[in-house]
Amino acid sequence: MNSGLKSAQVSEPLSLCVVGAGYVGLTAAACLAQLGHFVYCLEADSEKVSLLSQGEIPIYEPGLKELVEANLANQRLKFTCDPSQAIENATVGLLCVGTPPRFDGDPDLSQLSQAGRTLVQSSDHDLILVVKSTVPPGSCEALELIFQDTAEDRIRVNVCSNPEFLRESHAVWDFFNPDRIVLGVDEPSLVALDRLYPSDWPIIKTDRRSAELVKYASNAFLAIKISFANELADLCSKVGANAEVVLAGVGADQRIGSQFLKPGPGYGGSCLPKDISGFIAVGEAVNLDLQVASAARKVNTQRSEDIAQRIETVLGGLSNKKIALLGLSFKGGTDDTRYSPAIGLAEVLVEAGAEVVAYDPLANIFGKPIPFFRVESPYVAVEDADGLVIATDWEEFGKLDYQYIAKLMRGYDVFDLVSKTDSIKLGEAGLNLYGLGKGFSIESHSLLWTSLLWAM
């Protein structure tokens, strides 16, 4: 699945230290090693380090295992828990640790400052620390003060910004096919950073605050696009238009673009919900009410309730109804369930009295308690179900045997929130398909005709 650009190489490899072996850090470490750099990945969890050192990957990310194995074998990638070993030869450290949201929407930067201070304390040479985690503008400057304070006059520490734009489930492909690499550097003498990526890649070099804000603004804009698509799909339902066609028509305008205009159960994952809140918090910090972003967030927050209400209307209530739910991860192609809209919807349905039985091919619940049942087959999930909800866009959900599913279900209603099924196929099986922007009841509004009345 990965493009031939995986053969891209840097001309002057560096010794690097990547801190954190989560989704971002592990991908960055393996891909930077693949570019030719010598990478030590520093991770606090010793069990993880020992697994990774044997080529075992704790997350599901297509193409990543092969890259880790290849670069372990050629010794360009190593894992360790020991900061001194990780930083011994590296002049550049990449900080890839979490910046989870605090209660007020601001990101918690404590893991970042801890990671950087550990490197500074363990290093006997000057360091350039590159922040890949998503942070509000001004963070790199603040972190530099903290790190320089930790270093006293022993070594010099510069902090730069290089935000990550990789999507989970496409991270390796995205790394080798970047739309842009953003480097935020305020100190022109830091030439080592010019050697981080191949020089013919699309690099935008700018100041640190601008680089930091590119990341927030990109994720906020993606979230706004999705919320717009979701609202438009609802409008289509009300006026009897087909959302799929309308959104394809809108997206065909190159100024708008067709990506991230797919209606669904709302955006989830560890990034978009967190970053739109972070973006709004940045505005609040400077007394600016970012209304467009706030509205997009509100649309998303209400999504599960709105969808549950529509399901309730079609099924004539939710109390004691059995609902089969296909999909638990926050999108297809990943095992990640953080801020998953599918789980959010399941919780609302259970709260309203339904019994939910879920199936997902890969979702990792991370031992979190869930108020519903999880089974190992979609066909077990649908047994005696009054309704079937498809909430994650796994390819396999479009290829299920719906004739068989119709026989197993008690009811006939399928709520496909991710446009994976075919209405003709479902109709032939005797099932009713309710998609977003089509199928739910049409409520023509009298206002639509007022202009005609005026013309008569």
Which positions are annotated as active-site residues? 271
CA 328 to chain centre: 14
CA 55, 57, 61, 67: dihedral to nearest 10 degrees? -20
Q: Which is nearer to ligand UGA, 328 or 409 (CB)?
A: 328
Q: Which is nearer to ligand UGA, 155 or 362 (CB)?
A: 362
DSSP string, 9-66: --SS--EEEEE--SHHHHHHHHHHHHTT-EEEEE-S-HHHHHHHHTT--SS--TTHHH
* Least distance from ligand UGA to the Cβ atom of residue 373, Å: 23
Q: Which is nearer to ligand UGA, 131 or 271 (CB)?
A: 271
Q: Does 96 bind ligand UGA (CB under 6 A)?
A: no
What tokens does 364 get? Answer: 């990792």
Q: Does 132 bind ligand UGA (CB under 6 A)?
A: no
Interface residue with ligand UGA among 80, 219, 300, 337 (CB under 6 A) is: 219
Report how far residue 343's alpha carbon sits from residue 273's, in angstroms, rounded to the nearest whole number.
15
In the chain, count H helices and then E strands. Answer: 16, 14
Q: Which is nearer to ligand UGA, 164 or 360 (CB)?
A: 164
Q: Which is nearer to ligand UGA, 330 or 440 (CB)?
A: 330
Q: Interface with ligand UGA by CB under 6 A: which range of 72-80, 122-130, 166-174, 448-456?
A: 166-174
DSSP string, 116-138: HHHHHHH-SS-EEEEE-S---TT
Query: Which contacts qualify for 103-112: CB closer than 8 Å, 24 or more apart?
Result: 104/281, 105/277, 105/278, 105/280, 105/281, 105/284, 106/136, 106/278, 106/281, 106/285, 107/134, 107/135, 107/136, 107/274, 107/278, 109/135, 109/139, 109/143, 112/139, 112/143
Q: Does 118 bind ligand UGA (CB under 6 A)?
A: no
Site map for ligand UGA, 240-269, x if CB under 6 A? --------------------xxx-x--xxx
Q: Interface with ligand UGA by CB under 6 A: which range of 80-88, 113-121, 164-172, 406-414?
A: 164-172
Helices 272-285, 208-239: crossing angle, 10 deg rounding: 120
Interface residue with ligand UGA among 43, 61, 164, 234 (CB under 6 A) is: 164
Q: Does 437 bind ligand UGA (CB under 6 A)?
A: no
Report how far residue 8's alpha carbon sits from residue 32's, in angstroms, rounded to the nearest whole number.
10
Q: Does 272 bind ligand UGA (CB under 6 A)?
A: yes
Q: Does 59 bind ligand UGA (CB under 6 A)?
A: no
Q: Which is nearer to ligand UGA, 244 or 383 (CB)?
A: 244
Q: Tell me whether residue 9 is exposed, middle or buried, using C-beta atoms within 10 angstroms of its C-beta: 0 to 12, 13 to 18, 19 or more.
A: exposed
Q: Does 167 bind ligand UGA (CB under 6 A)?
A: yes
Interface residue with ligand UGA among 49, 68, 166, 183 (CB under 6 A) is: 166
* Least distance from ligand UGA to the Cβ atom of residue 165, Å: 4
Which amino acid is located at 197 in the chain? Y
Q: Does 22 bind ligand UGA (CB under 6 A)?
A: no
Q: How many residues bind ligand UGA (CB under 6 A)?
A: 22
* Least distance from ligand UGA to the Cβ atom of residue 364, Å: 15
In this structure, are residues 369 and 306 in contact, taking their beta carbons and an 8 Å threshold? no
Q: Does 165 bind ligand UGA (CB under 6 A)?
A: yes
Q: Does 176 bind ligand UGA (CB under 6 A)?
A: no
* Least distance from ligand UGA to the Cβ atom of residue 247, Å: 9
Q: Which is nearer to ligand UGA, 261 or 346 (CB)?
A: 261
134-167 burial, b at 16+ Cβ within 10 Å, e below that, comes to bbbbebbeebbebbbebbeeeeebbbbbbbbbbe
Task: Give the interface with ligand UGA as residue ranges (CB under 6 A).
Answer: 134, 164-168, 219, 222, 226, 260-262, 264, 267-269, 271-272, 275, 330-331, 341
